[in-house]
Each structure stands twice: as C-alpha cells, then as structure tokens.
Structure 1
C-alpha cells in the first residue's frame, strides 16, 4: 500500500510498502529513474512474498512542483522526464528520504538496501554515507564510477551487465580494482536493466542468478 512519510527536513513524500509488520528483516528498495512504477512495486512485492518487510520511497516527490508517487513508463519522453527529475535531486537530499523509509521499518531488527539503475547508484552512495543499513546490493548502478574510491560502512554487492551500453566494462573493472572487498558480479550476455521483466531489456537467466545471489548475500548479513 502507499503511505506518506516525513523526512528529517519535514518533506512529505509517498512510499510503497508491503510485507508483514512482524518480519525480522526489512528491505529498502530504491527505484530506477521511472519512479515507483509497476516494476519497482513488483520488486517490493517479491521481497514481501519471501517474508521481508519492504518499502520503496518516491524520491521524485522532491521536485519543485511535486506529483506524489510519480510512476513513469519507458517511452523516450519518460526517459527524458526521469533524467531531468534525477538531475534536480542531490544524493544527500535523496538520503533524507531513503533514511526516512528505513525508519518506517520500525519493527525490523535488520534493515537492508537494494536498488536499480539510479537506485543502484544511490545504494552505493548510502552504503558510504548512511548508518541505517546492514548491507546493500546494487543492480546496474550507473555513476558508481564517480565515487568508486569512497569507503563503504557496510558489506556491498554489485551486479552489472556485460553488454550494458551505459556502464562500460572498463568502469566495472575500475570499481573492482578500487573496491576489492565488494562482491562484483558481471552477467556477460545482459545489458542495462536486465532484471526488468516484461521489457526488451529482460534477461531471465541473468536476472534469476542476480536475484539468488542477492538473497544469499542478504541472508549472510542477517546474523
């Protein structure tokens, strides 16, 4: 269901939440540049079905004229709209809403973080900036290379497509060299957003393997 949260600077925004209140572990899911649309909600639902309490904040509610709970498609105009919104939101500003989402997981003893595309990038940034999470799994996070020398406070795992036209393998290898303690997985036949079902980018085998690796990684951090 959709709920309204308030961040530390009194900004009100929408978040989508699902899963049992009594779950021991919570997951904050960070969206692509398309807002909290049907795909990203399905990721939240997938975690909830496994017994996690999962939540996704609508980071685009930070825009000057907010349309709360923005949900975009994948047309060229949606891409341009999403990119424009993203550019208007600083990482440290997004952090306020991400941490508010984590705080909404009040009954959960362990809080984990994952994200896709922009959300994958922000997952890495939060792993370095925030103290709210026990671990992070970052899926095809474009822009991580710009912060590849930052120091993570928590265990981190990353997933990249070997055919990703927006994240060169040279960047992935540079991240690997700078972060020897980060688990980095490359899926040779996959491109960007390879986990997004019902779109041409979807690569089911790579998506399932990355999902299984994420769950295993998260389970290892729950003790």
Structure 2
C-alpha cells in the first residue's frame, strides 16, 4: 500500500514512506520512527493507519546524517540509533514533522493532521504537540521527562506506557501525570516497545488495545 516519497524540509531533502487510504481520508498522521530508522515495522505502521482510513507518512529523519537507515533491534542497533538521533536532534525533527504535515495538506484533501511516535519518536511527538500544536499520541517516549515542566501541550495528547518498562519506571510515569494533567495517559501490562512485533517485548493484547485507543483519539481530534 505504501511507497517511498521525497520530502523537502527546512534543512534539506529527505525520504519518507507514505500510504494513502482506499477511501476518502478521515485526516492525516505523521508517524515518527524509533531510533532504528524507517524500518519494516514503521512502514507497516504507516500502512496500517492508511488501512484504517488515514493518510500517513513517516519521514526518514536520519537521512540528514545517513541514508536508508534500518537498524537491528540489538545492542549494536541501539548504540548506532542513539548516535544518529543525537546528531539529528529534536529541533531538526520538528522542522521535518512540520514539512511532512504541510506536504500532506498540500497534496491531498486530508483535513487535519496529527502525529504519533514510538520510543524516541514518542518524545518527538510530544514536542510536536507542544511546539507545533499538533494533536499527538506518544508511545513509550522515554526521553520526555527532561522536557516536563517547561514544554506545555497545545493540543490534545494521548500517552501510552508499559507497566513493566525498565526504561520508563513508575515514578517517571507519575511525573507525566503530575506535569501533564490535561493529557490522557494509558499504562498497559507490557514492557518497552510493546507495539513492535519485531521486539522481544511485543505484547499483542496491549498493542491492539492501544491501537484502538489511538484510532479513537485521532477520530475525535482530527475529524
């Protein structure tokens, strides 16, 4: 269903994976990758949102540093992904997300645009809400804590966490509840990366339930 596209951003041209629904779209969603790149998993996420009636696009943020990044879910992949994420930086990602939203708005009659992100992308989705005013869904955004208290949501916000996530312990989830009283926060009986069927922590019941909450959120906030 999806296909590669080229995306013009404020800091250079990058690639992206885009999918359009077979019906008139409900709206549009910018999908923000994990640190592993626009992988098979992220492309499947984009295609799945399109199958549910949304225009979806996943910018390849790491193209600013290295093209065609698809890292393995292992220690080497984590280490390289962290390096690339640090080199790209969240400020540049915000420009890319804004460019992707504009691309969708100008090429389709897609209506409103939201953003969803996973892990590193979950924090980027949170920041896109605060800085760009986009309705956002954040899945296990483990890098969000340092921004709490001085970054403030400007649109509806849904956050998914795993109950047994070692990277986001309960006290960090509590900090989110304290600083983001306007956000809807879900905690699922799962670990980190529970939405990705290529990871050891994949938990299908939580992934499916979180997807339904996410679709309902976007239906409510974008249509």
Answer yes or no: same fold by TM over 0.5: yes
| Distance in 2 of aligned mates of 1:151 and 1:117 | 19
> Residue 104 of structure 1 aligns to a residue in which SS?
helix
Aligned to 2:121: 119
Aligned to 1:140: 140
1:114-151 deviation line (CA, Å, top 9, x unaligned): 010000010001100114x2x11100001111112221
Aligned to 2:63: 61
| Distance in 1 of aligned mates of 2:198 and 2:31 | 19
Aligned to 1:76: 75
| Distance in 1 of aligned mates of 2:136 and 2:211 | 13
Aligned to 1:201: 201
Native 8 Å contact 2:28 2:104 kept in 1: yes
Aligned to 1:104: 103
With structure 2 as the length reference, what TM-score do the two structures score?
0.93
1:56-113 deviation line (CA, Å, top 9, x unaligned): 00011121xx32x321121221111101101112211111111111111122111011
Matched, 1:166 2:167: yes
Mark the runs of 5 or more structure 2 residues left unpaired by the alignment: none
| Distance in 2 of aligned mates of 1:70 and 1:3 | 15
Native 8 Å contact 2:145 2:175 kept in 1: yes
> Residue 26 of structure 1 aligns to a residue in which SS?
strand
Mark the runs of 5 or more structure 1 residues left unpaired by the alignment: none
1:140-183 deviation line (CA, Å, top 9, x unaligned): 00111111222111000000001111111101101101111100
Native 8 Å contact 2:46 2:58 kept in 1: yes
Number of aligned pairs? 216
| Residue pairs, 1:172-187, within 5 angstroms | 172-187=173-188
With structure 1 as the length reference, what TM-score do the two structures score?
0.93
Aligned to 1:48: 50
| Distance in 2 of aligned mates of 1:89 and 1:60 | 7
